[in-house]
Amino acid sequence: MSSELDVRPGTDRAGRRAGAAAEGRGRGTPASLTRRSSRCTLCPAGCEVQAAGSGPDHWRGEPPNAAGAGLCPRGCCLPELLTDRRRIVSPLRRQDGRLVACDAAAACERIAAAARAGGIVIVLDGNLPVEEMLAAAAWCKAWPAAKLCLAIEPADRELLGGAEAGGAAYLAASELAACDGFLIVGDPFSANPTCSRGIFERRAANPRTPIVAIDPAGGAAAKFASLSVACAPGGEADALAAIAGGTGPAARALADCKKLAVLVAAEFGSTTDLRAVGELAGKVAASRGGGLAVQTVGANALAAVRIEQKLAALSLAAAMGGEVPLVAVGCDVLGMLGWDEGRVLAAAAGLPNATTEAAEVVLPLALSGEVAGTFLLDGAKAVEVGVLLPPPAGVPVPSALVAELARAAGVAAPAQRAATGIALERAEAAPPSAKGAAASARADGPQLLLTRSAMHSGCGSLTGWGSWQAASADLPELRVCPAVAGKLGIENLQVVSVGAGGPAVRARVRVAPETPGGVAVLSDGFPQCRRAVACRLDGGRFVHAAAAAAIASEESRHADAG
């Protein structure tokens, strides 16, 4: 799946100098740029992404040279992240509050000693190739002191758990144009802009195609709906249940569909029962001959959910709620949950994040785009994805790092690992979980909701380092309707502080008429936004309480616009 042109592993700090002069690139004409291509795995769209060598040590992202190839801002920034000058390329340990360079063997021994003392939990990124997850699982199985946990976005995990139980087939983006009706839950257009194309193609062919949206935040997808279901925050499951039961105008609008596509995206901080949403969405799609398109964070969340269940891996909630020290491998688990601290002994990452800031030991790790393997793309089919660029010299892929840690603890290599095929088997239906303790919002302010962002992947701990992301959105955007803005006395582009149970976050106001009244919407692509929405453990799962947004003006737009 990857095409590898003339790149020689190299001599620079990041190991990628490829002899620019010899190859006629560097400052040559654009046609002489070195290009490599693969698929972006930051979301399930799996768009083709090119890395164009722009000088010996710098690569930038390029969309393929074809009309409508599609590459969102996350994919565009991926190649430059791989060669970011802030890459972590050597082990570090914390000394007097600061991170200082240390020996790799000493870092591994520190982790092995903690494992011998009371055990550790290895929290592995859930957006890795299937082979990486299975190899790490095999090492953890052979290492009694280490338990494996796959870090999956809590909202995605719940949603996918329900979707697996719903029984509907998973649709590829290319199949959407052949569907005759669309039911949209959340804002999948922001989660994965590519999925909008098939809907628009179908609508162009038949303008009367029903597009029904259920989105309390009134996001990008809801703007294009032929029918937008009035839905209070947290009421998505009830709205879907009404459609499944055949009652209401939405059910009537979709009644004649012979092949219904249901597109679902889950937002961090949602107070609805996402497992029920996933299951109902699957049942509605299956009952109308269609399928489901779940727009998760990362391309392999579905595989991670299946592997977690089949290998009985520790859930993230259990890992975070326990007393055992954590070793985070490739995931910004604290940023993802909006937590400030946790028992993080070590964090392996490609770029600094909230988890590395809290860790005692920091290890280098390959990033997305540097690890090859199998992903569930194109409608949950196994697709081989090659590397976009090789990792910097000496930087391990996740399974190699776990193996290194296990060897340091004296663990022998595992004889075998589970077959890749287990990621293709549906997860068994899990028992319904207790519904979260969602309290109603206070009457003195709009309810704060988070929404997915096309700019950032997950909590933005990786894509937040992108130069375009940094230049175009220095602050998260707070979207409110004109009525709410007028009531609060805030205006477009004004900088405000927003709080809702957690620490306040600075945001720039966008007064948007499409936003429903009674809500204020922030992007979940910023760790500070996730911190603003309090997330806590309750009964072995993460829950969020609905909370009113406390919005305070900081400055007027005129003071900032100069």
Partner 1 sequence: MPTPVEKRVLIDVDRCVECRSCAAACYLSHADMPAVHFARSGWAALPLICRQCKSASCVDACPAEAMVRDESGIVRRRLFRCIGCGSCAKACPFGVLPGATAGQPRAAFTPDRLSGHQIPKCDLCADRTAGGGGVPRCVAACPSGALRYADEHDTEQVPLEIAGRSIGDSPYKRR
Rule CB under 8 A: say whether 30 interacts with partner 1: yes
List of E strands, 411-527: 447-451, 477-480, 495-499, 505-511, 519-523
Angle among Cα 19, 25, 31 to the nearest 5 degrees reads 150
For the chain, the first-to-last Cα distance in angstroms comes to: 47
Question: For residue 102, how far is the Cα from the chain centroid?
Answer: 31
HSE-up (13 A, CA, CB side) for residue 557:
10
Burial class (CB in 10 A: 0-12, 13-18, 19+), 466: buried
Q: Does 224 bind partner 1 (CB under 8 A)?
A: yes
Q: Does 216 bind partner 1 (CB under 8 A)?
A: no
Nearest Cα neighbor of 152 from 266, 322, 240, 40 is 266
Min CB(67)–partner 1 separation in Å: 5
Query: How many chain residues interact with partner 1 (CB under 8 A)?
Result: 54
Residue of 139, 170, 182, 189 that binds partner 1 (CB under 8 A): 189
Put residue 507 in one of left, alpha, beta given phi > 0 → left and psi -120 to 50 → alpha. Answer: beta
Number of helices (H) and strands (E) in the chain: give both, helices first. 19, 26
How far is 426 from 421, CA to CA, in rounded Å?
A: 11
Comparing CA positions, the residue from 396, 407, 332, 397 lying closest to residue 371 is 397
Q: Which residues from 120-179 bind partner 1, rule CB under 8 A?
A: none
Range in contact with partner 1 (rule: CB under 8 A) among 84-92, 202-210, 340-348, 529-537 = 202-210
Query: Which position among 208, 410, 415, 431 is part of the footprint of partner 1 (CB under 8 A)?
Result: 208
CA distances from 299 to 63, 212, 303 (A): 18, 25, 9
d(CA 35, CA 58): 12
Two structure tokens written together for 86: 């802030």
Residues 435-454 that bind partner 1 (CB under 8 A): 454
Nearer to partner 1, 194 or 300 (CB): 194
Given 94, 119, 200, 251, the residue binding partner 1 (CB under 8 A):
200
Q: Which is nearer to partner 1, 168 or 454 (CB)?
A: 454
397 phi/psi in degrees, rounded to 5? -80, 160
Contacting residue, 85, 101, 207, 410, with partner 1 by CB under 8 A: 207
Report the residue number, 101 or 471, with the smaller CB distance to partner 1: 471
- Restricting to residues 464-523, which ones interact with partner 1 according to CB under 8 A? 467-468, 471-474, 493, 510, 512-514
For residue 390, give the DSSP letter.
P
User: In the complex, what is the shortest distance from the CB of residue 182 to partner 1, in angstroms, rounded to a whole number?
Assistant: 14
Instruction: State how beta strands 477-480 and 535-538 pair.
Output: unpaired
Residue 197 in the binding site for partner 1 (CB under 8 A): yes
Rounded CA-CA distance 276/360 in Å is: 39
Which residue in the set 22, 27, 31, 323 belongs to the binding site for partner 1 (CB under 8 A)? 31
CB of 314 to partner 1, least distance (A): 35
* Residues from 39 through 68 that contact partner 1 (CB under 8 A): 45, 47, 60-68
Token output for 285: 């799609």
Nearest residue to 365 (alpha-carbon basis) of 526, 145, 125: 125
User: Rounded CA gap, 217 and 170, in Å?
Assistant: 25
Residue 190 in contact with partner 1, rule: CB under 8 A: yes
The nearer residue to partner 1, 469 or 528, going by C-beta atoms, is 469
- Tell me the closest approach of the beta carbon of residue 556 to partner 1, in angstroms: 12
Span from 13-21, 23-31, 270-278, 287-295 in contact with partner 1 (CB under 8 A): 23-31
Each residue 332-361 as x (binds partner 1 by CB under 8 A) or -, in order, gives: ------------------------------
User: Binding of partner 1 at residue 408 (CB under 8 A)?
Assistant: no
CB-wise, 124 or 184, nearer to partner 1?
Answer: 184
7, 18, 42, 71: which one contacts partner 1 (CB under 8 A)? 71
Specify the residue, 62 or 180, whose C-beta has the smaller distance to partner 1: 62
174/247 with CB nearer partner 1:
174
256 lies in the site for partner 1, by CB under 8 A: no
Least separation in angstroms between CB 382 and partner 1: 24
Identify the H or E element spanning 460. Answer: none
Q: Which residues bind partner 1 (CB under 8 A)?
A: 29-31, 45, 47, 60-73, 76-77, 80, 189-190, 193-194, 196-197, 200-201, 204, 207-208, 220-221, 223-224, 226, 454-455, 467-468, 471-474, 493, 510, 512-514, 560-562
